[in-house]
Structure 1
Amino acid sequence: MGVISLVLVRTICLLATRVFAWLALFCGSTATKNAGILILRHEVTVLRRQVAAPKPGWPNRALLATLARAARRPDLSTTGCPPSRLFGGAAAGGVDCARTSAL
């Protein structure tokens, strides 16, 4: 029962804090609201300056290269002809399956 009552007390305190914050926000003047918005905008711009572009390490670059290579690989099962004829083509004396399947 001790853990449940602790969670209940913390939830009630959080709820009360949020209610009082909303009341302070609604009761404030327009100038106070504008000042709060300007402060928040300034905080956002300062935080955006601090965040540098991420530089991927070699494991991430290797994974991205492998995924890019797999994405470019043709699917030989959908062409309807064996890889030897597909890659041999008309230059190797076979039929160019890539052209004949598209017709």
Structure 2
Amino acid sequence: MATGEYVVFVDHDDRLEPTSFAQLMALQERTQAEIVMANFFFYVEGEAGFQVAFSKDDYFEQVYTPTEWLAMEYKRDFGISECFSVPWGKLYRRQLWDDVAFPVD
């Protein structure tokens, strides 16, 4: 059970830059956002290299209201639906998860 002020979900196959958490925290402190979302790259088996999920450089240098966030989810612009619908790749204020439980396999 998380007890800190923030929570980040990391999968077993994720690889993070050494400064990932510090960068997310700095952005949270600057914006006071409840959720800070990071860009990510993914590796496709059998293909050379990594693919970037979002290529617009300033896309995440914005603060969105919950209404704007949900509008982007439903718009499915920039492939953003996948990014919004998974818990990883984000720093959350822990209280957002107080009443949420994941199924136990």
TM-score by length of 1: 0.17
Structure number with the higher helix fraction is 1
Tell which has more relative contact order, 1 or 2 (C-alpha 8 A, sep 6+): 2
TM-score by length of 2: 0.17
Structure number with the higher strand fraction is 2
Structure showing greater radius of gyration is 1
